[in-house]
Amino acid sequence: MTPLVEVDRLVKRFPLTRGVVFQRRVGVVSAVDDVTLAVAEGETLGLVGETGCGKSTLGRLMIQLLEPTSGTIRFDGEDVTTARGARLQGLRRERQMVFQDPSGSLNPRRTIGAIVAEPFAIHGLLRDRDERRARVQELLEQVGLNPEHYNRYPHEFSGGQRQRVGIARAIALGPRLLVADEPVSALDVSIQAQIVALLRDLRDRLGLTLVLISHDLAVVRHLCDRVAVMRAGAIVELAPVDELFEAPQHPYTCELLAAIPRLPIGGGQSSSST
| Residue 105's pLDDT band (cuts 50, 70, 90) | confident
Distance (Å, whole) CA 91 – CA 94: 5
In the chain, which residue ranges form alpha helices assigned H by DSSP? 55-62, 85-94, 112-122, 129-142, 159-171, 189-206, 217-223, 241-246, 251-258
Percent of the chain with pLDDT over 70: 93
Distance (Å, whole) CA 150 – CA 167: 15
pLDDT, tens digit, 9 for 90 and up, residues 168-192: 999 999 999 999 999 988 888 889 9
The amino acid sitting at 104 is: G
What local confidence, expressed as pLDDT, does residue 214 receive?
92
Distance (Å, whole) CA 139 – CA 220: 25
- Pick from 251, 255, 253: nearest CA to 230: 253
The amino acid sitting at 243 is: E
> Are 198 and 270 spatial neighbours (Cβ–Cβ below 8 Å)?
yes
Flag whether the pTM goes above 0.85. Answer: yes
What local confidence, expressed as pLDDT, does residue 262 receive?
53
Q: Who's near 113: CB < 8 A, 6+ residues apart?
A: 133, 136, 137, 150, 151
* 253 vs 22, residue with greater confidence: 253
What local confidence, expressed as pLDDT, does residue 205 receive?
95
What local confidence, expressed as pLDDT, does residue 267 receive?
45
- The total number of residues shown for the chain amounts to 274
Domains detected in the chain? 3-258 (3.40.50.300)
Average pLDDT over residues 231-251: 95
Give the mean pLDDT of the chain. 90
Distance (Å, whole) CA 121 – CA 136: 12
